[in-house]
Amino acid sequence: MSIRRYPFVVVEGLDGAGKTTVRKGLFRIWSDLFGVTPLCVLTTNFVAVEHIQTLVDGKYRPTPDNREEYLAALGADKAATLHRLVAPSVAVRPVIADRWLLSEIAFFAVKHGADAVEVHDRLGKMIGSAPDVTLVLSVSPQDSVERVGRRSGDSARVDWDVLEIQDRVRSVYDAVIAKPDDFPYCGDVVAIDAARKPAEVLHDAWRALAERGVMPC
């Protein structure tokens, strides 16, 4: 495969939307069909080690007092992730992120009542660049809560995986999908109907990347 630079692709969506399935599917397609192994990263990678405690506290114990410190720590960690992991990798292989900027925008909107555009702009300036594509897997809040409820173990969070919260998160996602030009640091935003069979969702994800010239056609 001849390609000048591999893409940085983000997979977003409500909990239970199928992000892991799409990420693993894209990983296998690239690896098995094209002989290149993608790098997979998360929305927070703790690359900026000096901010680890702030990142943990801000996510799991959010308060008005730690909001600004958490925002700065997120920006620092994402900037470090881009500099140390993403930028060196895209020259030789794709990078797939399981959540990235959109999830953080939704978190601040829901947990802190922050304006989505403002959070985007502040984090974007700290991060400095956008992914090539953000795939937003779209399911209803009701489906999200039901899917998470079927998982084994204690993955469901009582302060997050409930209908009211997921409905508010979905509203933020819809706002970004409706006006992507207001959120340039999300890259090219593509909504994908994830209420279908996983194979159909993966097919649409692959096609969306190919249509945007970041995948082999």
The binding site for ATP comprises: 13-20
Instruction: State the number of CA atoms in the 13 A half-sphere of 61 facing the CB.
Output: 6
In sequence order, the β-bridge partners of residue 8 are: 95
How many other β-carbons are positioned within 10 Å of the β-carbon of residue 153? 5
Question: Which tokens belong to 131?
Answer: 């992914």
Per DSSP, the three-state class of 133 is strand
Tell me the C-alpha distance between 179 and 162, whole Å: 26
Residue ranges of the binding site? 13-20
Question: Which tokens belong to 12?
Answer: 């977003």
**C-beta of residue 97 within 8 angstroms of C-beta of residue 149:** no
In sequence order, the β-bridge partners of residue 11 are: 98, 135
Q: Which residue has the tokens 């279908």?
A: 196
Tell me the C-alpha distance between 154 and 4, whole Å: 43
